[in-house]
Amino acid sequence: MTPVESAERALRRAVPWIATSLALIAAVYVRALAFTPAEAAQGPAQKIFYVHVPSAWVAFLAFGIVGGVSLAYLLRKDPRLDLLAESAAEVGMVFTSVVLVTGPIWGKPIWGTWWTWDARLTLTLFLWFVVLAYLVLRGAVNEPERRARYAAVLGILGALLVPFIYASVYLFRTIHPMPVILRAGGPTLPGAMLATLLFSIAVFTLFFGVLLYYRYSLARLADARADAAAERRDA
Amino acid sequence: MHDLLRVTWAVAAKDVLLEFRSRTAFVSALVFTALVLAIFNFARDPTAVSARDLAPGILWITFTFAGMLGLNRAFALERENRALDGLLLSPASRTAVYLGKVLANLAFVGAVEAVALPLFALFFNVPVLPVLGPLVLVIALATLGFVAVGTLMSSMAVNTRLAELMLPVLLLPFLVPPVTSAVQMTAQLFAGRPFSEALGWLRLLVGYDVIFVAACILFFESTIEE
Amino acid sequence: MPPRSGGMPENGGYMVAAYVAAGAIYLIYTALLLRRGRAGK
């Protein structure tokens, strides 16, 4: 089987997985909206939590993958690692955007304001900026080898930056206290809510994995096609 | 080691001399400083907003902008002259090139800061002299942090399409820890708070400098053509 | 249906908005990916 054919097969194999993940997300929606009790003090809007938190977890997971794979690329110089990092960044961007959209929609009814510079949202915002910079940088370099190198450097530095931004926001908030963030149900979640949250985290992580695999296969396919075309030209 | 120092110094001296001859970036930075001072003076109600509240933020906006101007020029010059190629003969040279560039950029930004700070003290009526020691330390540490990362970023940005636009896009998130720390510590110093209250920010800033200067030295090599 | 007690705020609209927005973003991206997978055949 040629590289092009095996990449195409990978794509086809992934489609049922995508369908399954989407169905599971629908199940999460039904469970969260209809079968999980609302939190008395915050009202139904608190349920945004079941989409916001798993998306945030995935966003940071994706970014961790970008950082780790970027380091691996600089050490091993395998172009497939570069494609994996690129895929993780793009898919991670989508999840990060969902966090930034659902965050304010949750914040407005709960805290009365669309945006507060709280630790999690601020950290996510700057994560978004770093991933954006990563994707813009990739778009601005034509040569594949240099693009991969530059992106890897930015990916690693970006991953190093995350704990410092967290520390900055944390320090800022301890000195300038803000309204206490209401947690979903106090320090410990009641059983039904915890179960929904864990279910949602599992489903969204699976969804991320499937999208990542598909996006990576797309990149491999494009690469394989470009190689095949170059070979035909040289022949 | 001696080689490293020699090349570092050579690179730094060349860049500083070039900038000194043309002086355009330096003058632009000073003009911007004067502009910021004037605008913020007329933009606020003096009875409602005290100059002291605004001063730390404005000070650091100016310093950061001066830094960006300097960073942009440094590598643009290289691209025009292809002067880098002659320097890249051995791995030690690459670190020396990076350090030399950082030194030159530090000299540039430092010069702007040295002129801007007295002007700020004058026009914003902030008590700089009593806290000059700690203030200079804060300025030095924060400037080192963002110049170190900025030098690396500009070495990549300069080889992309939209180079001048790319640098701020790449650099902005990396400015948050050092500039936030610097602004907070500057505000505390101007307010006459004891420096011990700012230890958390100082640790953050020093930690940032250590990690990122080391990382940039390590990864600069990967931004240079083979 | 979730149990409703007397003092709960009426902010279900936000909940719906967030769920719809998130779902839309994920669906649109998935659709775009799948379309890229079909293109060039």
Interface confidence, given as ipTM, is 0.87
Q: Does the CB of C32 have a partner CB in chain A at under 8 Å?
A: no
pLDDT at residue A177 in the model: 60
Q: Does the CB of A45 have a partner CB in chain C at under 8 Å?
A: yes
Q: Which of A206-220, B87-101, B199-213 has the lowest mean pLDDT?
A: B87-101
pLDDT tens digit sequence for B148-161: 999 999 889 888 88
Instruction: Name the residue facing B222 among A136, A152, A175 (closest C-beta).
Output: A152
pLDDT at residue B69 in the model: 81
pLDDT at residue A182 in the model: 45
Whether residue A20 has pLDDT greater than 50: yes
pLDDT tens digit sequence for A72-115: 999 999 999 999 999 999 999 999 999 999 999 988 888 888 88
Q: What average pLDDT does this structure show over B19-30? A: 77
pLDDT at residue B88 in the model: 60
Q: What average pLDDT does this structure show over B77-90? A: 60
pLDDT at residue A185 in the model: 45
The model's pTM: 0.89
pLDDT at residue B79 in the model: 63
Cβ of B173 within 8 Å of Cβ of A130? The answer is: yes
pLDDT at residue C41 in the model: 45
Interface test with C, best of A28, A35, A48 (most C CBs within 10 A): A48
Q: Domain residue spans in chain B?
A: 2-224
The answer to whether C and A touch (≥3 CB pairs < 8 Å) is yes
DSSP chain A: --HHHHHHHHHHHHHHHHHHHHHHHHHHHHHHHHSSPPBTTTBGGGGGHHHHHHHHHHHHHHHHHHHHHHHHHHHH--HHHHHHHHHHHHHHHHHHHHHHHHHHHHHHHHHSSS----HHHHHHHHHHHHHHHHHHHHHT--SHHHHHHHHHHHHHHHHHHHHHHHHHHHHHHHHS--PPPPPSSSSS--HHHHHHHHHHHHHHHHHHHHHHHHHHHHHHHHHHHHHHHHHHHH-
Whether residue B18 has pLDDT greater than 80: no
**Chain A residues within an 8 Å CB radius of B224:** none
Nearest Cα residue to B155 out of B4, B11, B3: B11
CA distance C22 to chain A (A): 6
pLDDT tens digit sequence for B26-66: 888 888 888 887 887 777 777 777 777 788 988 998 888 88
CA distance B146 to chain A (A): 12
Residues of chain B contacting A, Cβ within 8 Å:
149, 152, 156, 159-162, 166, 169-170, 172-174, 176-177, 180-181, 184, 200-201, 204, 207-208, 211-212, 215-216, 219, 222-223, 225
Q: What average pLDDT does this structure show over B174-179? A: 94
Rg over CA atoms, chain C? 18
Q: Domain residue spans in chain A?
A: 3-225
CA distance A194 to chain B (A): 34
Cβ of C33 within 8 Å of Cβ of A52? The answer is: no
Nearest CA in chain A to C3: A37
Q: Which of A70-84, A189-203, A208-222 has the lowest mean pLDDT?
A: A189-203
Mean pLDDT of chain A: 89
pLDDT at residue A194 in the model: 87
Number of helices (H), then strands (E), belonging to chain C: the values are: 1, 0
Whether residue B91 has pLDDT greater than 70: no
pLDDT tier at B15, thresholds 50, 70, 90: confident
